Structure 1
Amino acid sequence: MLIETAFSTRDVLAPHNFSCWREHIAQTYVPMDVEGNRTADTTVSQRVLALGAVQLWTMEHSPMTLRRTRKLIQQSDPELYHLSLNLRGTMGLARSDHETEYEPYDLVLHDTSQPHLIRATTSHGEDTILGTGLFIPRKLLPLPEKAIDSLIMQRLSGREGIGALLAQFLTQVTRDSGSYRPDDGPRLGVVAVDLLSALFAHALDAGDSLLPESHRQTLVLRIRAFIQANLHDPQLTPRTIAAVHNISTSYLHRLFQHEEETVAAWIRRQRLERACHDLAAPALHAAPIHTIAARWGFTHAADFTRAFRTAYGIPPRDYRNSAHAR
């Protein structure tokens, strides 16, 4: 399974659970101060999954206010972007100039290097707030920092388009973390960065406002996000991808000349990696191999077996048997 760090106040008696949580978050690499009801029974359950340089977190907790001050930034400043996806309750994010509230399935970006306040409250008679999100090193995102900074505190939708794809990725990886291997973490981190960058590029509607190289990168990110969302489609070819993005097939190939793989090779690798995951998943042990292959766009079992053997050195059946034996 993925490398995970967990914290819970479940085994701490009130009112000590508040002070226990406060001490814990003050000692993390993004320390924050906690304001809340010290005498109440504070509930906090937090998980952090390591996706290479990216951290995927999820947290369910009582109403509280978290404050990141200049003093705490001086104490530890890992220079991260912090993306939050609100799943239940209401989250308010405040900086010195203004404050904005976010409802369930709103995505919000903030910067760990800037002072801010997060105010989480329940709604509709619920007892706890639920959320998930990412910590991403700023240097990992290929877009200009000034452009990304313009999105801080903006309301980004996690209900449609690339935002919905990112929200689905965050919740699914958290839910299925036990079915991945530790070495899957960095690969999932790359997917997270690609999806987030594509979301930002879409929100910026960059157009001519970016330098030519940045514009090329944003287009490649949009194309990668589209491919990841349509890997199941056997008609996903360079020609159809180019048509959807209103570019020629030759220009699509030129875009990927700057990447490590051609567009066709990247599609094939993405499909094979997802088939690998499914072959190793205990829940899919009874699923026929040709069904898993078709699920990821391989319409002919023989083509899938040949591509799998070329990529991994063994046929898919042997890979599945070895994975389940481990």
Structure 2
Amino acid sequence: MLHRDTVDTTVLPPGERFGMWLDLVARTSAPLRIQSAHSADFAARADFLHLGPIQLVEYRYPSLDATRTRKLIQRSDPELYVLALTTGGVGTSSQDGRHSEIQTGEFTFYDASRPHDVCHHATEPERDQATSIITLIPHAALPLPPQRLAALYGGRMPGSEGVGALLAQFLLRINGHPEQYHAADANRLGAVGLDLATTMLGRHLVAEDAVPTEVRRRALVTQVQAYVHRHLGNPALTPQVVADAHHIALRTLHRLFEGEESTVASYIRDLRLARCRRDLTDPVLRTQPVQAIAARWGFSDKAHFSRVFRAAHGLSPQAYRESHSDPARIVNQPAPMRNAPRAN
């Protein structure tokens, strides 16, 4: 699984927790001047995931106000961009004269090498917890013109539509379930996250031409793959349907996948087969007919499913299910009675 580092202030006595948090922020991103009404008992947590070119930090903390001053920048400048997704609570942000009200589900963007202000407050006073996922991106890793990015500092970007929604889902998934990924996946996952972030920022600049061609291609591939995952059970899902959904020509979609390990059609087929394999070997679904499982994942024709499955695995779906059943499985059914006495 992905390695995650966690810092939890509640391991210390209440009077020492706020100081621990200030030290943590100074070490992991950039020093901030932080004020909070909860400084006497600052119960907070930070979870860190290192993904190659980027770092993700999920924060949970009491309401706070933070300022990055010129003096603090002179003291320490890690040369980072900060892309923040607010996952709980509301806040405000400002940088370079731009001031924004931030709601849950929205992104905001900063340059940590420039002064900025952030306020983040919980919307439920009885819990008084605000949450966010921060993506730390080194200046050198973001392939966008720095002079153009200034137009986005302190601004707000939705995380509920387009590439922003895809990026938000990616961050929530990775942070919520790091156990589902291998440590060897970290660099690749970081590259995907960086591509999505770059594409989202480029589109909000209304300057997609500023985004390198290969970054745009990889981000669009990720969008297409996410679309396929969401619609896998639709038997009408074809490369043409996928192309139409993304407002591109079919030949463009095929060119898009030339750099991948499979074509669009084979990606759809292999993903459907993988879902069928999983369900066929699931003891909970043992009593479900094979065709019901196939239909759930888009194989509406029984004969076609059997041919495709046998070609891929050398066995019929039923034989595959039986070969992967647990021989020690206990079936709670009475054995047939032999030589039972006849009723008179």
| Shorter-normalised TM range | 0.7 to 0.9
For these two proteins, the number of residue pairs brought into alignment is 307
Rate the CA distance shift 1:8–1:107 in 2: closer, same or farther, 3 A.
same
Rate the CA distance shift 1:197–1:24 in 2: closer, same or farther, 3 A.
closer
Return the alpha-carbon distance in structure 1 between the equivalents of residues 142 and 310 of structure 2.
35
What are the residue-to-residue correspondences of 1:253-272 with 2, within 5 Å? 253-256=254-257, 259=259, 264=264, 267=267, 271=271
Aligned match of 1:240? 241
What are the residue-to-residue correspondences of 1:37-52 with 2, within 5 Å? 37=37, 40-52=40-52
Residue segments in structure 2 that go unaligned for 5+ positions in a row: 315-319, 327-344
Q: Does 2:182 match 1:184?
A: no
Aligned match of 1:175? 176
Return the alpha-carbon distance in structure 2 between the equivalents of residues 106 and 302 of structure 1.
47
CA contact (8 A) 1:166 1:192 kept: yes
Aligned match of 2:79? 79
Q: How does the TM-score come out when normalised to structure 1?
A: 0.74
Q: Does 2:63 match 1:63?
A: yes
Return the alpha-carbon distance in structure 2 between the equivalents of residues 167 and 49 of structure 1.
16
Shift of 1:82: 1.5
> Structure 2 counterpart of 1:189, which letter?
G
CA contact (8 A) 1:86 1:103 kept: yes
3-state secondary structure, aligned to 2:170: helix
> Structure 2 counterpart of 1:95, which letter?
Q
Return the alpha-carbon distance in structure 2 between the equivalents of residues 215 and 152 of structure 1.
24
CA contact (8 A) 1:298 1:304 kept: no
> Structure 1 counterpart of 2:193, which letter?
A
Rate the CA distance shift 1:264–1:141 in 2: closer, same or farther, 3 A.
farther
Return the alpha-carbon distance in structure 2 between the equivalents of residues 202 and 77 of structure 1.
28
Return the alpha-carbon distance in structure 2 between the equivalents of residues 301 and 51 of structure 1.
40
Return the alpha-carbon distance in structure 2 between the equivalents of residues 69 and 301 of structure 1.
65
Shift of 1:147: 4.3
Aligned match of 1:99? 99
Aligned match of 2:129? 128
- RMSD of the alignment, in Å? 4.2
Deviations 1:162-193 (A, max 9, x none): 32332222222222222332223223223322
Aligned match of 2:342? none
Q: Does 2:226 match 1:228?
A: yes
Return the alpha-carbon distance in structure 2 between the equivalents of residues 202 and 308 of structure 1.
43
Rate the CA distance shift 1:7–1:293 in 2: closer, same or farther, 3 A.
farther
CA contact (8 A) 2:221 2:257 kept: no
Return the alpha-carbon distance in structure 2 between the equivalents of residues 53 and 205 of structure 1.
25
Aligned match of 1:26? 26
Shift of 1:153: 2.3
Bigger shift: 78-87 or 28-37? 28-37
3-state secondary structure, aligned to 2:107: strand
> Structure 2 counterpart of 1:225, which letter?
Q
Identity %: 31
Rate the CA distance shift 1:204–1:29 in 2: closer, same or farther, 3 A.
closer
Residue segments in structure 1 that go unaligned for 5+ positions in a row: 310-314, 322-326
Q: How does the TM-score come out when normalised to structure 2?
A: 0.70
Deviations 1:184-218 (A, max 9, x none): 322322332233234334434446xx26x846753
3-state secondary structure, aligned to 1:99: strand
Return the alpha-carbon distance in structure 2 between the equivalents of residues 198 and 270 of structure 1.
28
Aligned match of 1:11? 11
Rate the CA distance shift 1:45–1:267 in 2: closer, same or farther, 3 A.
same
> Structure 1 counterpart of 2:185, which letter?
D
Q: Does 2:111 match 1:114?
A: no
Deviations 1:18-40 (A, max 9, x none): 11211222222533332334752
Rate the CA distance shift 1:205–1:95 in 2: closer, same or farther, 3 A.
closer
CA contact (8 A) 2:195 2:216 kept: no
Shift of 1:6: 0.8
Return the alpha-carbon distance in structure 2 between the equivalents of residues 270 and 140 of structure 1.
33
CA contact (8 A) 2:84 2:107 kept: yes
CA contact (8 A) 2:254 2:264 kept: no
3-state secondary structure, aligned to 2:113: coil
